[in-house]
Amino acid sequence: MSKRLIAITTAFLLSSAALMAAETANAKKPAAKPAETAAAKADATPDDEKAPRLTIVEPIKDYGVVPKGDKLDWSFVVKNTGNTDLQIIAAKPGCGCTVADFDKVIKPGETGKVNAHVDTTNFAGPIAKSVTVETNDPSNPTAQLTIHAVVKPYVEAYPAGFVRYNLLQGDAETQSVTLYSEEDEPFQITGVKVPGDWVKVNYKKIDDPAQIAQVGKKDQAQYRFDITVGGPDAKIGPLAEKVLITTNSKHQPEYPISLSGVIRPTFRVDPTGVNFGEVAPSDNAATRSITLRSNNLKTPETFSVTKAESSIPGVMASVKPAANKGEYEVTLQVSKEAKAGDLDGQVKIYTNDKINPVVTVPVKGVVKSTTASK
């Protein structure tokens, strides 16, 4: 036998002996106990398995066809299918929807609610209003809740359910709308409520076929509303009011007509107060001016300032027209004979305005002594 063959045979015998020894050792080891196996699996379980689970029972509520003006309230049921507390962090409504309240903590296996509200007064046709729910569910932190409906106006206004005004204080303007109905029963107006004496409403049933708007149910009655806004009692500022019309409609008994726009003062005063500061009669600051401008864009020249009177000894007031129509400048001058001391009084400016004929502007300051100024 060659030396090479002897070496191969020896290596094979040694390898076989090592394999048999390893198998014998493994046979002597005790089998792993079931408890140890379960513990190992538990150790391998991710921590997020112990977590809340957000489940929405009915994510969409469809109301079908509803009359315009209906208030849609729905409680969406939220279930926690996890094994720790589910926390609702926020419930954020989309445009046209509000959230009344919601359950902030829901125990495992229990349910809570998110209460949503939709006012259909300003909608018509198909709508979908949503609420986004934010939770501590790591796998599903947000969910969408939606209210569907088709809003049908049974009472509506033509050309629109609002009127807009841009008025000067004291002026009045009338705008008109036509109210019509989709009801089967004969349509009638039962009442009108206005926000104040500065709003007047007259209405009548339209009898002339030529004046009937081509809207609403055929042969149904229509009513023309003339809405007058303004007068001396109207307050200066933006308009955001409603005229509430009540009808015999069983689906939509009330119809609001929105009043929007602005009522502006007839003229502007700039500045509305004067403070000379500490001045000597010879200082440039001893002369101040007040500008009055008409807000009448059509005929500004109808506004005029007739005179100005100072109640402060040592302060003279004069008036002259400015470069633009309906604009005047009132000049206040500390006279050279003014005594040292405080200036505290007012200037009255007289105009031809019927609403505000006299404007009072407060005036303050200090006249320095001649000795101190040297």
Same domain (yes/no): 276, 363: yes
Last residue of some domain: 208, 231, 264?
264
Mean pLDDT of 31-37: 44
Q: What is the pLDDT of residues 67-94, one digit of tens each?
A: 988 999 999 999 999 999 999 999 999 8
* Three-state secondary structure of 3-69: HHHHHHHHHHHHHHHHHHHHHHHHHHCCCCCHHHHHHHHHHHCCHHHCCCCEEECCCEEEEEEEECC
| Domain span holding position 106 | 54-152
CATH number at residue 87: 2.60.40.10
116 domain residue, yes or no: yes
Percent over 90 (pLDDT), the chain: 74
42 domain residue, yes or no: no
Q: Residue 370 — very low, low, confident or very high, per pLDDT cuts 50/70/90?
A: low
Proportion of the chain in helix, strand, coil states, percent, rounded to 5:
15, 50, 35
Mean pLDDT of 326-344: 93
21 domain residue, yes or no: no
Last residue of some domain: 238, 264, 290?
264
Number of domains comprising the chain: 3
337 domain residue, yes or no: yes
Q: What is the pLDDT of residues 115-132, one digit of tens each?
A: 999 999 889 899 999 999
Last residue of some domain: 240, 264, 288?
264
What is the Cα–Cα distance from 122 to 120, expressed in whole angstroms? 6
Element (H, E) at 373: helix 370-373
23 domain residue, yes or no: no
Mean pLDDT of 320-349: 94
Q: What is the pLDDT of residues 136-164, one digit of tens each?
A: 999 999 999 999 999 999 999 999 999 99
40 domain residue, yes or no: no
Residue 49 has pLDDT above 50, yes or no: yes
Same domain (yes/no): 137, 165: no
Residue 34 has pLDDT above 90, yes or no: no
Same domain (yes/no): 66, 110: yes
Q: What is the pLDDT of residues 196-236, one digit of tens each?
A: 999 999 999 999 999 999 888 888 999 999 999 999 889 99
Cα 84 to the center of its chain, rounded Å: 38
Residue 33 has pLDDT above 50, yes or no: no
Residue 25 has pLDDT above 60, yes or no: no
Same domain (yes/no): 144, 166: no
